[in-house]
Amino acid sequence: MRPVFDVLGIGLNATDTLLLVEEFPPYAGKVPFRRELLSPGGQVATAIVACSRLGLKTKYVGTVGDDLRGRIQRESLQGTGVDTSGLIVREGSLNQTAYIIIDERTGERTVLWQRPGSLRLEASEIPYDDILNARMLHIDGYDIAAAAHAARVARRGGVPVSLDVDSVYPGFECVLENVDYLVAGSNWPLKWTGETDPFVALARLQNEYGMRVAAMTLGHCGALALERGRWYYSPGFQVTCADTTGAGDVFHGAFCYALLAGMQLGAALDFSNAAAALNCTEIGARGHIPVLAEIEELLRSTRDDTRRISEPAAAGAAVRNAQLVQQN
């Protein structure tokens, strides 16, 4: 059967309140905020919008509240090309909310969030056929039972699974054992494994769970990945940063696109870093999700690496650890 969707996303969405300040206050300090904005976001929802923006056929499955924030999220997905027939409205529930303080000097942000328990997605609410009718499944794993079920169905059906995770959830092994592409937040591999070296942590994750790629994002410094014993380090891109909110989510959407486009891992990481950087040039989790031509132009303009943010220590460590892995 020919797949109906390129990417099926199952996981979180949120409606953010963005507070822009001239600079972060000191601890227990007090500063005025300059702007307040309501902005749709959320890990999987934003990644799927990024996939759609890049021309993929997509579907999103998740829950929203029936409040104002839930309505903003629903309306934000309309007209993006994302199939929202799997969007489930929880009557009498508030939507997931985040308050995000953005330092206008650097674009860096601090996030305070809350998700009511009534928004929990149950495994029984995920259309079985949707999983099997996708070329790729992208999950975040917050609702563990639902994520584990979806990943198991995908694995049995030969559908590759991409995972975005940045929090440690007890019992998460049931999700990890069916993941093909892990791209975790920068601290997650260390927290999950208890290791102090990110290279050791990623190698351990790959060895224990058998995933094809074990990777982590490194904020503005780019991304690091391990595939079949080989390390890949992709530096970030230097842009005029307005807001880093949603950068990781856009990275994941671009990464799904790159994999389905047949890119090799190094090129896929560069492509995803470029997409994430471009999103940082505007305010909001979906401030500037780029189209394909914009990403390609940024990649062309930085081929000589003059505008790349290089992290020599990380690159050097990648080479050294790659050599150690090969020797072992």
Q: What is the 3-state secondary structure (H, E, C) of 245-304?
A: CCHHHHHHHHHHHHHHCCCCHHHHHHHHHHHHHHHCCCCCCCCCCCCHHHHHHHHHHCCC
What's the DSSP call for residue 194? -
Does residue 305 fall inside a structural domain?
A: yes
Buried b (16+ CB within 10 A) or exposed e, 289-319: bbeeebbeebbeebeeeeebbebeebbebbe
130 in a domain, yes or no?
yes
Exposed (0-12), middle (13-18) or buried (19+): which is 79, by Cβ within 10 Å? exposed
Residue by residue, DSSP assigns 62-83 as EEEESSHHHHHHHHHHTTTTEE
Strands 109-114 and 97-103: antiparallel
34 DSSP assignment: E
Report whether 72 contacts 94 (CB < 8 A). Answer: no
Q: What CATH number is attached to the domain comprising 302?
A: 3.40.1190.20
Phi, psi (5° rounding) for residue 226?
-125, 125
Q: Are 181 and 160 in contact (CB under 8 A)?
A: yes
Is residue 21 one of the residues assigned to a domain?
A: no
Residue 27 lies in a domain: no
**Does this model's pTM top 0.85?**
yes
Tokens of 111: 């996030």
Confidence at residue 323, expressed as pLDDT on a 0 to 100 scale: 40
Nearest to 247, CA basis, from 218, 267, 224: 218
Distance, CA of 286 to chain centre: 12
Q: So what's the pLDDT on residue 129?
A: 95
Q: How many residues comprise the chain?
A: 328
Residue-level pLDDT, tens digit, the chain, 328 residues = 668 999 999 999 999 999 999 999 888 999 999 999 999 999 999 999 999 999 999 999 999 999 999 999 999 998 899 999 999 999 999 999 999 999 999 999 899 999 999 999 999 999 999 999 999 999 998 999 999 999 999 999 999 999 999 999 999 999 999 999 999 998 899 999 999 889 999 999 999 999 999 999 998 889 999 999 899 999 899 999 999 999 999 999 999 999 999 999 999 999 999 999 999 999 999 999 999 999 999 999 887 664 555 555 655 555 455 444 434 4
Q: In the chain, what's the furthest Cα-to-Cα distance?
A: 60
Tell whether 310 is covered by a domain. yes
Domain that holds residue 71: 5-12+40-88+119-327
* Angle, CA 265 vertex, CA 264 and CA 269 arms, to 5°: 120
For residues 308 and 239, give the distance between their C-alpha atoms in angstroms, rounded to a whole number: 9
Q: What CA–CA distance (Å, rounded) separates 214 from 144?
A: 19
Number of domains within the chain:
1
The strand pairing partners of 217, in sequence order, are 223
